[in-house]
A and B are shown apart, each in its own frame.
Chain A
Amino acid sequence: MLTDSKLTRRQILLGSGNIIAAGSLMALFPALEASAAAKPITVGFIYVGPRNDYGWNQAHAVGAKKIARLEGVKLIEQENVPETVEVEKVMEGMIRQDGAKVVFPTSFGYWPHILKLARNYPDVLFVHIGALWKEGDPKNTIGYRGYMEEPHYLCGVAAGHMTKTGKVGFIGSKPLYFIFNNLNGFILGARSVNPNITCQVVITGDWNNPVREAEVTNSLIDQGVDVMVANVDSAKVVIENSERRGIYSCGYHTDLSELAPKGFLTGAEWNWAAGAAFVKAWQTGGQYPNLLRGGFRQDMVAISPFGKVVPEDVRAKVLKIRQGFMDDTFKLYKGPLRDNEGNVILKDGQVIANDDNKFKLGVNFLVEGAIGKTGLKK
């Protein structure tokens, strides 16, 4: 298994602006560039919902478009594919009817169906977004996923500078480790600016429950919250409501700045175009990792373009920390750190590496400053 470390240096040099053009991702596997002359390859993307959902699926469709810009790549897409036997038929259809050699089934629950098919099609690469691959799974499958807590930290920093009331709000979907990580990142970022900032937390229990999300947004705003973030399938409703009520908001999944021309600060984005490296490797017979997790350093996450309300000095501060993530000089979890029930999580001087998966997968606490509960039994 290839580790993340060798993927980085060139990208940092190339990386400027929020999103690194997909072309530069070829640099991920440098030795292969020479032989990368356009051998045509068909790449299939499968979405669980509509491609323009202002959320999860759109983030993937944006990545797909970038991958399609690679030389010799033909993109085919299919949306609204349920996590049933249907996704197996859709993958097979892409392979047999359209000649796809790489497929990106982009919903978490597709994984068992991928494992069922992958051994029957050894000449096809199956790329999944859950980072669930483990030793013994087929070699022609890949799991990859970004550390979204890093861009959330940057959103928190922006929020910390912009909030006037010192109260920010976070709506979570499911009580899952990565949602807690994002929430903690956001709060740590905000409190790095002003340690008195608090964050109201509401977990709705649903990936997609716009009515409840709108209600929660309104009630948090009534309580004085003036920056909102939502970790749900589509943050559209939360951002639009925040805009209407005249407060700030941050995006999630993909670039949502158009939804809030006045109050948008920035947002946490996936960079699924990172999958281009896998396509390239498959096209040229090169090496690829079966499991890849990464943050800014591995170019797997990004932040949205700043909203026009964000002043220059705040932008500079945010970008400086992003550079810290890229150089791995800045760590998100470091001591002293307490959870919001007063328990010590990290002692003074204790530092968690940004790619410490074991720690991050085990996060079941909310950091100090969060007003709310995980809802988990401990």
Chain B
Amino acid sequence: MVGSRAKSGVEAVAISAAALLATLVLFGAFVALRGINPFDVYRVLYLGAFGSWFAIQHTLTQAAPLMLTALCTAVPARAGLLVIGGEGALVVGGVATVLVGVTLMGVPAPVAIALMCMTGTLAGGLWIGAAGALRHYRGVHETISTLLLNYIAIAVMNHLVTGPIRDFSQVLKPASWSVGERFMIGDLPGTSIHWGLAFGVVTCLLVYVLMRRTTFGFAVDILGGNVRAAQMVGLPIGPLVLSTCVIGGAAAGLAGTIEVIAVHGFASASLAVGYGYAGILVAFLARHNPMAIILIATLLGGISASGGLLQRRFDLPDAATLVLRGILFLAVLASSTLYGRLKIFQSRAV
């Protein structure tokens, strides 16, 4: 006997697979218009994303920051909010990490790294938390405020790295002081994937447990489902809104810390390269499920990783990867209308 829970799992997998298949067919038609054999393209997509140990490492490196920035949209989304401020929270987290990191000269590395992670998390949490507070206490729409906060975060960072905290020995581009080689966490042992992947996976799992296995998560789901109902049963709306925003922002802030202590060593315009915006896409494709975020981030990481190989092998412009991502996004959104409509997945009422 198949339980309804297992059935709905099968339904999700089947519908997602159908969306993926539709994407490949549409993208195949797109490249065929340019005179390229779609099956060659599929092969290269696979090769570039998962075809070798190197490709897999590339994919996972791409996926790592997306897991964290996706949570910035996914967690508040469970409470019915549409937060798109991952980019800003990442930048703020990165800058805060540097500001604290450079003061930790004599501190043992593990302690300093822990402090920097907490700093980034806190900074990102407060940043999106502020948008949550504006929403709850002043009625400011969180989508608009988080979008604008992105611009503010990037402007503040640019101001800081071209002026007050600029390291003039960095001739390559305006960049902040470095936190120092000693505090860099580098790659996972035996790989060329930085530690951000571990942080991403663990954070997603923790958030999954929080959202699915605690009364807090249950309360958030009720709030997201119906605000009136949540009020009726006496749930504390304000604290729930604020805490989902803080958790989401904290995850993106941590992504900023990782960019600093695992990749760059300093803050610069290279923090704002679109991980926050790609995270929104991941969150929606994963239907705001933290566990699914791990998979979807890996899938999108794979598309980015193989996008380069597509450019190189077929002389396609970079925009082709964007087309692929766009088609995937639309296909998944369109496919979500199928849930509950396909007879074979319905539990038969007795």
Contact = CB atoms under 8 A, between A and B. Distances in A.
Contact of A96 (B54, B172, B270, B318): B54
B312 A44 contact: yes
Contacts of A77: 311-312, 315
Interface in A292-329: none
Nearest to A174: B174
A82, A90, A93, A111: residue with the most chain B Cβ atoms closer than 10 Å: A93
Contact of B273 (A51, A84, A93): A84
Contacts of B136: none
Contacts of A84: 259, 263-264, 270, 273
A85 B172 contact: no
B48 A97 contact: yes
A93 to B, nearest CB: 6
B173 A109 contact: yes
A80 interface: yes
Interface string A94-135: 101110000000001101100000000000000000101000
B55 interface: yes
A111 B173 CA distance: 11
A78 B308 contact: yes
A97 B309 contact: yes
Interface string A185-214: 000000000000000000001000000000
A80, A132, A205: residue with the most chain B Cβ atoms closer than 10 Å: A80
Interface string B153-180: 0000000001000000001110000000
B47 interface: yes
Contacts of A44: 312
A130 B172 contact: yes
Interface string B31-53: 00000000000000001100010
Contacts of B239: none
Interface string A60-95: 000000000000000011111111111001101110
A50 interface: yes
Q: Specify the main secondary structure of chain B where it touches its partner.
A: helix
Given A84-B264, A93-B58, A97-B54, A79 B311 contact: yes
A90 to B, nearest CB: 5
Contacts of A89: 58, 61-62, 305, 308
B312 A98 contact: yes
A44, A84, A85, A90: residue with the most chain B Cβ atoms closer than 10 Å: A85
Contact of A109 (B55, B172, B311): B172
Interface string A238-272: 00000000000000000000000000000000000
Contacts of B311: 77-79
B288 interface: no
B317 interface: yes
A46 B259 CA distance: 22
B61 A79 contact: no
B78 interface: no
Contacts of B309: 93, 97-98
Contacts of B273: 82, 84, 86
B318 A50 contact: yes
A108 B174 CA distance: 12
A92 B172 contact: no
A112 B263 CA distance: 11
Contacts of B55: 93, 97
Contacts of B315: 77
Contacts of B264: 84
Contacts of B192: 92
Contacts of A205: 162
Nearest to B310: A78
B173 A79 contact: no
Contacts of A50: 317-318
Contact of B270 (A78, A92, A98, A109): A109
A36 to B, nearest CB: 25
A94 B61 contact: no
Nearest to B51: A97
A233 to B, nearest CB: 13
A82 B315 CA distance: 19
Interface string A131-144: 01000000000000
Interface string B310-329: 01110101100000000000
Interface in B286-323: 305, 308-309, 311-313, 315, 317-318
A83 B173 contact: yes
A43 to B, nearest CB: 11
Shortest 9 CB-CB distances between A and B: which pairs? A80-B318, A76-B312, A82-B273, A89-B58, A109-B172, A85-B263, A78-B311, A109-B173, A79-B318
Interface of B: 47-48, 52, 54-55, 58, 61-62, 162, 171-173, 192, 194, 259, 263-264, 268, 270, 273, 305, 308-309, 311-313, 315, 317-318
Given A78-B312, A85-B61, A97-B52, 19 more contacts: A51-B317, A76-B312, A77-B311, A79-B311, A79-B317, A82-B270, A83-B173, A84-B259, A84-B263, A84-B264, A84-B270, A89-B61, A89-B308, A92-B54, A92-B58, A92-B192, A93-B48, A93-B55, A97-B55
6 contacts: A84-B263, A84-B273, A89-B58, A93-B58, A93-B305, A96-B54
